[in-house]
Structure 1
Amino acid sequence: MEKLDTEACHVVSGKLGGAPVISSGDYDMYQLVSILRSCRMMVSSRYHGIVTCMPSLVASAGVTMDERIRNLMHERGHSDLLLTVDDPDLEEKLVIILGKLNTESERIREGIGQTVARNLKVMARMGVFFEEHLQKCYPDFPIRKGLQGWEDYLPPLSPNLKKLLENYSRD
């Protein structure tokens, strides 16, 4: 996916009989996002690859070398979908996880949807905190008056994200 991974991807592709390699060297970020969000499932060692496909509820697992993917999988309730790069049984565990992504995709999508909905609200809260901080530091700076909904602290949401919030928000 990332240009620096292209050579390794071609090696793996050759072992898989010529599976396509999709690289940032060949596609721009908008095309890559579109491709990722069209997947049915994915396994990645790239944090942003996993996060990018979450709004489309792509069943995903992570191979981690640091805390970002580990924390994300724990937050989603998917510790069982976490592998470490230095695991001596990586291959066997990966096969098991691929099976889970296939057979437990609804459970996985539920956790992903809840996590995306929850994090949209967390981002909105950051907007509230920023506005309060701005008001304290610059009392003359004009800000909106009256009660604001949490949604007012986010940019306009796509129809997909609005539907995701309807289906997965837990107030």
Structure 2
Amino acid sequence: MTRKFLTVIGVASLSSFALAAQASAQTQGSFGSTSTGDLTVSASVPAKVRISGLEDVTFTDVDPASDASSNQNICIYSNTASGGYEIKATGDGAANAFTLANGALTPVAYTVAFDDSPGQSTGSPLTTNVALTGQNSTASNQNCTGGETASLIIGVASSELQKMQAGLAYSGTLTLVVAPE
């Protein structure tokens, strides 16, 4: 009885080994002077994005009777099949507002707009911490060797410029977060 039991365990172990070996390759080679086997190699990557080409914006000696605006071409790359992404912006003012400040002086608001094509002077207005979805990039690589793919438009209304004290610099930080779609 012990002998049969040991034989059964031996066969079960041997067949488990054979199944494990088969699971690691698509076609197993045969025993001989040479042996050939085939296996499948596969790879995948997660969805990724990159934003680049951003430049600081400086409004110097602007006429407070007129709105000030600065638009720049930037690059956004997405490796999704459609090139899809969303963009979210936050400022460093209270509740992440888009504001420019100078110490204890009253901050002034600025606006942020975005378009997923370069060379635009207007775009979809961004609201702080709210994603603008459904954007698409035409970039073929993360370095945007084919050129910029989007427009970022920053503006300060004349009503806000008129609140500023002459000769003082006001500043703020705009943070842009891009995520794949």
Normalising by structure 2, report the TM-score: 0.23
- Structure with bigger helix share is 1
Normalising by structure 1, report the TM-score: 0.24
Q: Which has the larger radius of gyration?
A: 2
- Structure with bigger strand share is 2
Q: Which has the higher contact order (CA 8 A, sep 6+)?
A: 2
